[in-house]
Structure 1
């Protein structure tokens, strides 16, 4: 498994409220996480980074387990997310400066050829192969509800005044109901996890062309972020690009 991570503040923000990380156990099990915080500079940054830190720490505690086959990964992921949600919600209730904070959360847990995904908010996960780029996740956003009901088109959603409203965020409510998906990695060439700082600026066809281009994994990641900045860079931009096969060696 090859991967690259890049998080950029963008051109207009003074704080990067995004967070991105990849954790790897000695036996090759991987957990990739992206989070996009909200609730003001202080709260958003705290929410996203705390979510990644705590989930990553819980994952790394599994390092010394002799038989991880006994772990039901979906249940582990659910319970860990529920725990972080309660922790953030309670912290916000106890600290006035952090009231209203929350964060999107997308995780990709890779165990052999199996990929388990969790999703909250409007960050996105895409799968890419030679034939297509497919958005695996569905945005938990106000405009997506309007699209699904037929009230507006995708083109209208792109310029809607409430396009940044999300309907679900980690830590903003006492309980949370994430979406879960599974993928067979034998069918996929790349996985892209990104915040809306990328997906709001770069269309999926352009993403596919960049990701399938004949350059290193690092260059692909940098090109995606640089293009989002060239298109305005109003938001923080975070990208994790994973390549399940070992054909390509990542370049620093």
Structure 2
């Protein structure tokens, strides 16, 4: 897997609160690592939270570089514990500094190993898998509108325009503990992995994102630049964080 990532402030925000990490090289026991985090809070607090989440997670992984990972479940537990550690670090900083009280961040991350993506996720940042024929959201948003959809109160069409569509129900750092979703995704037949904040998904439909990826699929930098450009042209209502990763080959084993 080779990936690139970028963050853009968008058209309406005065500061950037999104952060990304792209490592095509090993970090601790992980062969690679890709993270998108979308911070929230008061003055500068969102930017602090998203960066701190990534730094704290990576520190945890590096400190456990001698961990014996023998099963897929043990790998997912490591990812979950890394985010739980980041949650503690952010929550503690919020208690210590009044300027950061209540700050938090979403986080969506993955590492790719032996044809499988191992994913950990909190909030409404997303991970998609795609090939030339389709694009599929792998993560499930921890948001109010997602809960309303699952309960049958609104439709998927309603979600895009709902006045509370930006309200998330779970974040890293806002409480002393956080529930982390983990999952694995076989990449058999998958060509691209896309991680992004809602600054992209709120502006562009999945159909439009898929179209842009395959229109510019010869160059990852161009794909990201075009996704960000189109999101800004659609309004650029929020910061835009995007990571796009392409498999070296379409694996047939998982």
> What TM-score do you get using the length of structure 2 for normalisation?
0.90
> Which digits, 9 at most, give the CA deviation of each residue in 1:112-156, with x for residues without a partner?
212100111011110001221000011111111111111112222
Partner of 2:76: 74
Partner of 1:21: 21
Deviation of the 1:61 alpha carbon: 4.5
- Equivalent pairs counted in the alignment come to 245
Contact 1:190 1:243 in 2 (8 A): yes
Contact 2:76 2:120 in 1 (8 A): no
Is 1:177 equivalent to 2:174 in the alignment?
A: no
Write out aligned runs for 1:150-165 (5 A): 150-165=152-167
Partner of 1:12: 12
> Which digits, 9 at most, give the CA deviation of each residue in 1:65-97, with x for residues without a partner?
5x8654731121111111111121122122211
Partner of 1:134: 136
Structure 2 residue runs of 5 or longer lacking an equivalent are none
SS at match of 2:194: strand
Deviation of the 1:99 alpha carbon: 1.2
Q: Of residues 201, 204, 207 in structure 2, which corresponds to 1:205?
A: 207
Deviation of the 1:35 alpha carbon: 0.2
Is 1:223 equivalent to 2:226 in the alignment?
A: yes
Contact 1:48 1:103 in 2 (8 A): yes
Contact 1:17 1:36 in 2 (8 A): yes
Query: What's the RMSD between the two structures over aligned residues?
Result: 2.0
Partner of 1:168: 170
Q: Of residues 217, 232, 236 in structure 2, which corresponds to 1:233?
A: 236
Deviation of the 1:59 alpha carbon: 3.0
Contact 1:2 1:246 in 2 (8 A): no
> What TM-score do you get using the length of structure 1 for normalisation?
0.91
Partner of 2:112: 110
